Structure 1
Amino acid sequence: MSTLRMAAVAAPFDRDLEGDFDRVAALIATARADGVGLLALPEACLGGYLANLDGGADGPPALDVDGPEIKRLAALAGDMVVAAGYCEHADGRLYNSVVCVTGDGVLGNHRKVHQPLSEDATYRAGDGFAAFDTPVGRLGMLICYDKAFPESARSLALDGAEIGVCVSAWPGSRTNPAADLAQDRWKRRFDLFDQARALENQIVWLSANQSGVFGDLRFVAGAKVVDPGGEILAGTGVAAGIAVAELDVRQALETARRSMGHLRDRRPAAYPALATGGEELAAARY
C-alpha cells in the first residue's frame, strides 16, 4: 500500500492578484518541501472573496479556466495536485469556482452550486457534482456552502470519489459573533460539516478556508484533514497555517467500509423524496 501526504490551507487572500500568487507560490513551496502530493487552497484565493454578503460587494477579477492565470497556477503546482478557488468567467457569466491542476494542466473544475445569502448577486450557480481521476486518486470538489447539503458529498462518493476537497471562505457568525473565534457557532458548524461529510460517506476529506478579515467578513480558518471515520488528523484551529496528514487512502477506505459500509448499505427505495427532489414536501412544511 502507498501513502499520500496531503494538506489543506488556511490563509488570507484579497484583491491583489499578484500578492495572492506570491502567497500561493510560497504555500506550494512549503508543502512541496514537506513532501505533500495533494494541496487544497481556499475558496477565492485568486483575487479574494466578496467583501460582504449583502448583495452590493464588488467581486474578484474574472478569470478564464483556460487563461494565463490558471496556467500560471498549474506551472506552480508542477508535480503536485493543487486545488484553488477563483472567479470563473465563462460565456459572459461569472461563477464561484474551484480548479484542480498539476503541471500538465487542468484536471477538474467545479462551479459552486449552493449560494448563501446574496452571493447570487455576483455569481451564477453551478448545476452538478462530478468526481474525476488525478495522479493521487479520484477526487470530488465542493465549495463552502455546498458542504451543508449532504447530497453534494454523497453524489461525489457515489461517483467514486475517494477524497473530498472542500474549499471555503467561511466566516464567523454575523448576528451573534464570539470574541474568541474558537467559540463561534459558525466555526463549530464548519467543523461539524467537515467531520459529518467524511464519516457519512467514509471518504477522506480536505477542508481549506480563508483566514483573517476581508471587508465585513471575519473568516474562521479551520483548515483540516479528516479521515473516513470522521476523525480530524490535522488542523490549523482558528489560525492561518497548513494542516498536513499522511494516509494510505485506499486502505483507510477499505478499513472504514469493511463492516459498516454507508454507501453499500443504502436503501434508495426507502427514500423516494430524494429521487423526486422533495420540493412539494419542503414547500408544504415551510
Structure 2
Amino acid sequence: MTTLAAVSANFTRDLEQNYALIASLADEARHRGVDFLTLPEAAIGGYLSSLGNHGDTVRTTARSLPPAIRLDGPEIARVQQIVGDLVVAIGFCELADDGHTRYNAAAVLDGSTVYGSYRKVHQPLGEGMSYSAGSGYGVFDTPIGRVGLQICYDKAFPEAARIMALRGAQVIASLSAWPAARTATAENLQDDRWTYRFNLFDTARALDNQVFWVASNQSGTFGSLRYVGNAKVVDPGGNILATTLLGSGMAVAEVDIDETFRTMRAGMFHLRDRRPDVYGPITEVGAGSDLAHA
C-alpha cells in the first residue's frame, strides 16, 4: 500500500516561513504515514502577485518576483534536509544556467536524491512576462513508482497528461497556484467557475489516462490573487479519494497502486484503444484555427 497526499497551503516571499511550513507539513505527513507528498506550485518563494496585462514582469517589478533558485542550490538542499526520506513534489522559480532565464518549475525529491524536475510548458494570462516556457514532459522513477510532474494551467491540456501516461506514469503530481475568477466571482468560492474548472480538470485527467492524480494548490490570498485550495487525490477512475475543499490542509489517501491499475485498466482501455492514425492535426502547427471551422 502507498499513501499519497496533496497540500493546500499559503506560501509567500518569506523563505524562512516557507521552510517552517514545509517542516510542519512534512511532520504531519510522517505522522499520517504518507509516502508521497505534493506541495503547491511556488512553494519556495511564492507565486506572482498578479496576472494578466498588469502581471509581474522581470523588467518592471523585479523586487516582487519570486526568488530564482538553482536546482542544485542551497534552497533545494534545505528542503531535502527537511523532508528526509519522504518523497516530495515541490514548486519553485528555477534560475537557468545562463544566470538570468527564469522558469516556473517543480521537482520530485527526497533527502538524498532529486529524481527529476520539470519546467512549466503552458503559460496563462501573461505569465510569459515573468517566466520562460519549458519544452517537454518527463516521467521519473521514484521509491513510490513512476511519477510525472505538471504545473497549474498544464492540466487544461489533455496532451500533457497523456504523454506522461504513455511514458508509464502511475502518479501525476499537478502543482498549482490556481486562483478564483477575477470577475463575477461566486459568493461561495466553492461554486466559483474557476474552482469548478480546477476540480473538473483534475478528475477528467485522472480518468482520461487512468492514473493517480495528486493535485496540490495554494490557499488564501497573495497580492491580487485569491486561491481556491481544493487539493485532492483522485484515483484512475476519476473518483476523488480525499480533498481539502477551500481550506488549507492535507488530503490523504492510502492506495494500492498496482492492484488499482489492474482493476481499472481491466475494464477501461483508454490507452490501448487510442487511434493515433487519426490524431495528426493535434500536433500540426496552426491547426487549431482550421479545426475550429471544420
Q: What is the TM-score normalised by the length of structure 2?
A: 0.94
Shift of 1:196: 0.3
Which of 231, 254, 265 is the matching residue for 1:246?
Answer: 254
- Cα distance in 2 for partners of 1:62, 1:10 equals 22
Equivalent residue, structure 2, for 1:154? 162
Name the aligned partner's letter for residue 18 of structure 1.
E
Q: Deviations over 1:173-225 (max 9, x none)?
A: 00221121111000000000000000010000000000000000000000000
Residues 135-154 of structure 1: per-residue CA shift (max 9 Å, x gap): 00000000000010000000
Q: Give the corresponding residue for 1:282.
A: 288
- 2:184 equivalent in structure 1: 176
Within the alignment, does 1:119 sit opposite 2:127 as a pair? yes
Letter in 2 for 1:52: S
Residue 14 of structure 2 is aligned to residue 16 of structure 1? yes
Partner residue, 1:63: 69
Alignment of 1:76-225 (within 5 A): 76-90=82-96, 91=98, 92-225=100-233
The answer as to 2:234 corresponding to 1:226 is: yes
Question: What is the DSSP-based 3-state SS (H/G/I as helix, E as strand, rest coil) of the residue aligned with 2:117?
Answer: strand
Partner SS, residue 286 of structure 2? helix
Distance 2:214 2:165 in 1: 14
Partners of 2:123 and 2:19 lie apart in 1 by: 26
Deviation at 1:278, TM superposition (A): 3.2
**Matched residue type, 2:191:** Q
User: 2: CA distance between counterparts of 1:177 and 1:102?
Assistant: 38
* TM-fit CA distance, 1:273: 1.2
Aligned counterpart for 1:271 among listed residues 270, 276, 279: 279
For structure 2, list consecutive stretches of 5 or more residues without a partner in the other structure. none
Q: How far apart are 1:281 and its partner, in Å?
A: 2.7
Runs of 4+ in 1 over 6 A off after TM superposition: none
CA distance in 2, matches of 1:64, 1:95: 10
Residue type of the alignment partner of 1:14: T
Partner of 2:269: 261
CA contact (8 A) 2:38 2:175 kept: yes
Provide the alpha-carbon RMSD of the alignment.
Answer: 1.1
Letter in 1 for 2:154: D
* Alignment correspondent of 1:72: 78
Contact 1:73 1:101 in 2 (8 A): no
Q: What 5-or-longer segments of structure 1 have no aligned partner?
A: none
How big is each residue's C-alpha offset from its partner over 1:16-54, in whole Å with a ceiling of 9 and x where there is no partner?
A: 011011001100111011110000000001000000003
Cα distance, 1:267 vs structure 2: 1.2
Which residue in 1 is equivalent to 2:33?
35
Q: Percent identity between the aligned chains? A: 51
CA deviations over 1:113-153 (Å, ceiling 9, x no partner): 00001110100000010101000000000000001000000
One-letter amino acid of the counterpart of residue 148, structure 1: A
Give the corresponding residue for 2:23: 25
Letter in 2 for 1:55: G
CA distance in structure 1 between the aligned counterparts of 2:150 and 2:178, rounded to whole angstroms: 13
Question: SS in structure 2 opposite 1:110?
Answer: strand
Deviations 1:216-252 (A, max 9, x none): 0000000000000000000000111100000001111
- 1:72 positional shift: 1.0
- Cα distance between partner residues in 2 of 1:215 and 1:178: 19
Provide the TM-score with structure 1 as the length reference.
Answer: 0.96
CA contact (8 A) 2:49 2:55 kept: no
